[in-house]
Amino acid sequence: MSNASGGCLCGAVRYEITGKMQKVVYCHCEQCRKTSGHFVAATAVDLDKLQLVDDSGLTWYQSSDIADRGFCNQCGSSIFWRPAHGKYMAVMAGAIDAPTGLRSHEHIHTADASDYYEICDGLPQFPHEHEDLWEENDK
C-alpha cells in the first residue's frame, strides 16, 4: 500500500491517495498535449483510494464522450483524467508530491505525438490506447 498526497500549484485542489498507484503511462494524444502543453505522465488509482482534501478550485471539463478532465480553476493545473466507465481515476504524476515511488511503464497514442520531440527511453510504445492499459501495467 502506498500513501501519497498531491494537488495543484496554488493549493486550491489537494488530495490524498491510500492504496496502490499504477506505473506511469505517457500519453501523447492531442487532447493531453493541448491540456498540458506537452505529453502527459499519469498514474491511476481506484476511485475509493482517492480522497479530495480541498476541492475548492476543482473544475471538471468534459473533453470527450469517454472522459472528463479535472483542473484547478485558479492556477490552471491539470490534475485528473476521469474515464466515463468509472473503473479508476488517472492522476497527473507531476501533481503528486515527491517522492512518489512511481516508475514509468509505457507510451500510448504515439501516432499523435508532436514533431518537436523523440521518444527514446526504450519503453514500449503503442500507436493508440490498448484495452488493458491500467489492469496489466503493474506486472
Express each pLDDT in 26-40 by its tens digit: 999 999 999 999 999
What is the bridge-based pairing of β-strands 78-83 and 89-92? Answer: antiparallel
pLDDT at 1: 45
With a cut of 50, say whether residue 15 has pLDDT above it.
Answer: yes
Q: Cα 56 from chain centroid?
A: 20
Q: Which fold has domain 3-112?
A: 2.170.150
The Cα angle at residue 85 between residues 75 and 92, in degrees rounded to 5: 30
pLDDT at 39: 97
pLDDT at 56: 98
With bands split at pLDDT 50, 70 and 90, how would you rate the model's confidence at 130? confident
The C-alpha atoms of residue 44 and residue 54 are separated, in whole angstroms, by 19
Q: What is the mean pLDDT of residues 74-97?
A: 96
The C-alpha atoms of residue 125 and residue 106 are separated, in whole angstroms, by 6
DSSP E strand boundaries for the chain: 3-7, 14-18, 24-27, 40-45, 50-54, 58-62, 67-72, 78-83, 89-92, 104-108
CA distances from 91 to 71, 111, 130 (A): 11, 23, 18
With a cut of 90, say whether residue 131 has pLDDT above it.
Answer: no
Domain-by-domain residue ranges, the chain?
A: 3-112
